[in-house]
A and B are shown apart, each in its own frame.
Chain A
Amino acid sequence: MIFQDTIAAIATPIGESGVGIIRISGDNSKEIAQKILRSPKGEKYTDLKHFQVYYGKVIDPSSENTIDEVLFFYAQGPKSFTAEDVVEIHAHGGMLLLAKVLNICLQNGARLAEPGEFTKRAFLNGRIDLIQAEGIIDLIRAKTEKAHELAIAQLTGRSTRNLAAIEEELYNMLVAIEASLDFPEEALPEVEHDRLVKKTTDLLVRLKKLGKTIDEGRKIREGITIAILGKPNVGKSSLLNLFLEEEKAIVTDIPGTTRDIIEATIQMRGIPLTLVDTAGIRYTENKIEQIGIQKAEELISKADLGLLLLDASEALNPADYLVLDKISSRAKLVVLNKADLPEKIDLPSLQGRAIEVDTLVRISAKTGFGFDSLEEKIVEMLGLGELRVDDRPLLSRLRHQQAIEKAILAIESYLAGLQNKLSEDLLAVDLRAALEALGEITGKKVTKEVLDNIFAQFCIGK
């Protein structure tokens, strides 16, 4: 945040809207625009005129694939919102699309803007006058001073505790090394090498797992996928339609399949969800159909949640078991459809198929009965309630993930060093790198923490 590099972010609120704006600000704005924007005929823009609105398309320069058709303009600093060179791209609304356009900007030289950074730049560049500034200053200060606090609050409670615990253990390791390096003549407790290796391996597993739970950033960027599964005629299409009615979905067909796999994007609690009606798992001899089924299975395995639809009005049959055996999504929810009819399904027989019977929901896709509790259950299972949708989570979660990835790499290198019996001065470099990375989330400064900990933990002194 201290460098005057080029920043980019989605400038409109996340959620449903017809148009979304991506704003780029900084010296390289124009250059980035020229890289990722093409005229309708696919030509590059050799120059962009100040404040002229262009109609064109955003492409991925690595593949030249079109991402979206857009309107955009270029404003040359200081006559712009931030007083820097600015490009604003007005794309179609919808989180997935905007996130894709933003990603293209980031891949082509922009850095993700910090919360409030455009305003901050506008202010600091003297773009906003004093009266405005006085009103805004508190906001800016509040944002930066509380940034770490907020960043932490955005992690779910458990993740925060897990991260704090991991950080603490890493500090213990580094502090033990640093104390022994700086105070070799003190009788300090020694840590057994094998135990250290085991502990580090364990920490690595925990951090990777934590990285996955912070996957919420990914969930927002890429959206969450829910697969609807079930034998033919169990009511999948009706359920999908119910979602569509309730949530105003956009429906697209997935090409390359004979049996239609229908994908629909909806917003639930402001988070984009992709529903996939897989239609197809059943016995078939038709080769083309088999390819379709394979594709469906692939989608299921990638899904964040699988909704297993069963007909409550009849007993389980082999067609149900076939579907049951194919469920490989990350989480599963059993949905008993046709709850408006007398229940005949034999629930205990679901036991032993890796299905938690107590996570089932009864609905009637026909009447709409139970939809609210289904939605609640989905929100609960995907942790959507914990995802806060404003301009912050998207930004900081991406940073969290980057920080955790950096830490993981550093710890892997530390572990390799331990196993190769590298000397402590070298091991400390990797441990410090890991803690510096985590410090980007927790706000701790390594050198100070290390010294404070050495004197708090060890009795040192002549």
Chain B
Amino acid sequence: MIYDVIVIGGGHAGCESAAAAAKMGCQVLLLTLNIANIAAMPCNPSIGGPAKGHLVREIDALGGIMGRLADRTYLQMRMLNTQKGPAVWALRSQADKFLYQREMLKYLESFPNIQIRQAEITELLFNTKQEITGVRSQTGLEFAGRTVIIATGTFLGGKVFIGQTHFPSGPMGQLPANELADYLKNRLGIPLGRFKTGTPARVRRRSLDFTKMTPQSGGYQAHGFSFWQQLEQRPEEKCWLTFTNEKTHQIIKDNMHEAALFSGYITGVGPRYCPSIEGKIAQFPHKEQHQIFVEPESIDTDEMYLAGLSSSLSEKVQKEFLQTIPGFEKIEIVRPAYAIEYDVIPSEYLKPSLELRAYSGLFAAGQINGSSGYEEAAAQGLLAGINAVLKLREEEPLVFKRSEGYMGVLIDDLVTKENYEPYRLLTSRAEYRLSLRADSADERLTPYGIKYGLISTAETAIFNEKRTKIKQAMQFFVDTFFTPNAEIQALFQRHNLAFPKNRFSLADLLKRPEISLDFLKELSPNCEFEVAIVNEAATQIRYQTYIQKEAEQVARLQELEERKIPFNLDYDQIANLASEAKEKLKRFQPTTFAQATRISGINPADLTALLFYLENQIRKR
């Protein structure tokens, strides 16, 4: 049988790819090194947070899996940034990692058109036109496919470092995918880059003294990540807070030479936002303490995760410094912290559709593209899955603009410029942050999900009803007027608020930042919309002016986004481009002028030259 889509890798990217393609009616083969590790969380079993939580909402709005599974498997759920404005409100969940895996397997198995198989793929098969035709496994089995998505995560050329020891390995002691790495490097000639990441030790819950730590609760959440289901209320598992101290730091300093990170063995580049404890102490020597969150991983395990303590020190030193931390005096390590190096595809080999430039029908998604994080991987997996199907249908790929979603920001950043470290999405990377709110993800992306058949009829009905209600609520705010009288004045005074002199609407009041929604409710008790609807409608009104400001700031960018650069432009024709610019433009093949502006090493003179060349081409035609 010839599969429509073959997915190599059953992590967060691969699972989303498989499900998206299946929803779009394709025959899918999902290949994984080990079925027991489908959708595993080898680092912190946490989903969401700023930008990442936004991404999960977008994945969900587009018809992906991550949001719904996170909602069904959480141990704790917390809304972050509640004091900082709706654009950055971000849900973060601590997932039961085993439950998440079981739910994912169940979900994928529910599709009759997804076949899941355990196999190590060592070779890709092409026809003479460089079009993908299938894959071959280590045991010589061949699978024919019209498109292939590589989503190998940190397994590709994986190498683990613990102190002075290092050995080829995937995460969590799994087998690495070395032969496939060799194939990509030596047979396809892709100059793979090398990135590094790491994870802290897992320790035994019963060995910890929680009386010396502060409990952290997520609190009640009415809504989860998903737009399509009610949030099931699950019993909460607590996280715990403790701190390192001078003794901890001294032990680490004394053994710094032993850390793999500083030993010179590691060539891969690690992420700045995820430093090891020894890295933090080296960079911030005057910081007296570092916070450590002790987090549950599953109700089915006694292991706990030590957030803040990723390390490449030897197991002996790890135990020694851990014992100095309050509550860790009798700590038992179950799995040591380690650093892991893996291969990544250079960004210039990727199209914005996540298809490889040189190989028709071959896509890549997730950490192999230089990203980090489950959410970033899942988003890419979803888009690669959709685009593989669109390729088969001979339709235009789905490529979001930076103004449409964090997904747009993520993909654009990944494929149009050099990434020097594993890429993590941050809200500060988004030029249109105020518009890209988690609450508006469905408004922005669900129409695409409906268009491509990723959203069910029932979900479409939920979407339409919600959008209608929000419109009604906004209209209600605009249309509900009050004429100041003694009673209203008294209400304002009771709340210590300045009193409007003239007739005013609820929308007028919303423009005043000090007016809370609770106050509005008191003023206008006949508002019958549910809280989530009121919140989103109110935010839209409140943010109007600033969203306009943001729009003005990026208007120029928008104009540049709309200037397309023809595919396969011969940059050698442009006589006065600097050679560095030529080389970069050839490498990255930007599709819009805005992308060209974001490539490092291309300066204004080059951009002007490029622009004038393009304009002249248009005039000549």
**Chain A complexes with chain B:** yes
Interface on A for B, CB 8 Å cutoff? 1-4, 120-121, 123-126, 130, 133, 137, 140-141, 144-145, 147, 178, 180-187, 420-426, 428-430, 432-433, 436, 447, 450-451, 454-455, 459-462
Q: What are 13 sample pairs from A and B whose C-beta atoms fall under 8 A apart?
A: A2-B608, A4-B612, A133-B576, A184-B49, A184-B81, A186-B291, A424-B88, A426-B434, A447-B431, A459-B275, A459-B280, A461-B308, A461-B310
Quick one: which of B87, B543, B604 contacts A1, CB cutoff 8 A?
B604
Contact B81 A451 (CB under 8 A): no
- Given the known interface contacts A2-B560, A425-B87, the answer about A461 and B612 at a Cβ–Cβ threshold of 8 Å is no
Name B227-281 residues within 8 Å CB distance of A: 272-275, 279-280
Quick one: which of A126, A130, A451, A462 contacts B274, CB cutoff 8 A?
A462
> In whole angstroms, what is the CA distance A184 to B48 when docked?
12
Quick one: which of A121, A436, A450, A462 contacts B428, CB cutoff 8 A?
A450
**Least CB distance, A363 to chain B, in whole angstroms:** 50
> In whole angstroms, what is the CA distance A420 to B85 when docked?
14
**Least CB distance, B206 to chain A, in whole angstroms:** 23
Contact B84 A181 (CB under 8 A): yes
**Least CB distance, B579 to chain A, in whole angstroms:** 12
Contact A147 B604 (CB under 8 A): yes
Using CB atoms, name the residue of chain A closest to B597: A2
Interface on B for A, CB 8 Å cutoff? 44, 49-51, 80-81, 83-88, 90, 92, 200, 272-275, 279-280, 283-284, 287, 290-291, 293, 307-308, 310, 426-429, 431, 433-434, 513-514, 543, 546, 549-550, 553, 559-560, 575-576, 578, 593, 603-605, 607-609, 611-613, 615-616
- Given the known interface contacts A2-B560, A181-B50, A462-B44, the answer about A125 and B612 at a Cβ–Cβ threshold of 8 Å is yes
> In whole angstroms, what is the CA distance A384 to B23 when docked?
73
Using CB atoms, name the residue of chain A closest to B613: A124
Chain A residues lying within 8 Å of B308, measured Cβ to Cβ, are 461-462
**Least CB distance, B530 to chain A, in whole angstroms:** 23
Chain B residues lying within 8 Å of A421, measured Cβ to Cβ, are 513-514
Chain A residues lying within 8 Å of B81, measured Cβ to Cβ, are 181, 184
Chain B residues lying within 8 Å of A130, measured Cβ to Cβ, are 575
Name which of A185, A421, A433 has the most chain B CB atoms within 10 A of its CB: A185
Contact B434 A425 (CB under 8 A): yes
In the complex, the 9 A-B pairs of residues with the closest C-beta atoms, listed nearest first: A423-B85, A425-B85, A124-B612, A425-B87, A144-B605, A455-B272, A178-B428, A184-B80, A461-B275
Chain A residues lying within 8 Å of B560, measured Cβ to Cβ, are 2
Contact B84 A425 (CB under 8 A): yes
**Least CB distance, A407 to chain B, in whole angstroms:** 13
Using CB atoms, name the residue of chain A closest to B560: A2
Name which of B50, B84, B291, B543 has the most chain A CB atoms within 10 A of its CB: B84
> In whole angstroms, what is the CA distance A147 to B605 when docked?
10
- Given the known interface contacts A123-B576, A424-B85, the answer about A461 and B603 at a Cβ–Cβ threshold of 8 Å is no
> In whole angstroms, what is the CA distance A133 to B576 when docked?
9
Using CB atoms, name the residue of chain B closest to A451: B428
Using CB atoms, name the residue of chain B closest to A140: B605
Contact A144 B603 (CB under 8 A): yes
**Least CB distance, B386 to chain A, in whole angstroms:** 28
Give 11 new A-B contacts, CB below 8 A, not counting A144-B605, A460-B273.
A3-B559, A126-B616, A133-B575, A133-B576, A180-B84, A181-B427, A421-B514, A424-B84, A429-B553, A462-B200, A462-B308
> In whole angstroms, what is the CA distance A145 to B513 when docked?
44
Chain A residues lying within 8 Å of B426, measured Cβ to Cβ, are 182, 451
> In whole angstroms, what is the CA distance A432 to B616 when docked?
35
Contact A4 B615 (CB under 8 A): yes
Contact B607 A2 (CB under 8 A): yes
Chain A residues lying within 8 Å of B546, measured Cβ to Cβ, are 426, 429
Contact A125 B616 (CB under 8 A): yes
**Least CB distance, A452 to chain B, in whole angstroms:** 9
Contact B608 A124 (CB under 8 A): yes
Chain A residues lying within 8 Å of B616, measured Cβ to Cβ, are 125-126
Name which of A144, A432, A462 has the most chain B CB atoms within 10 A of its CB: A462
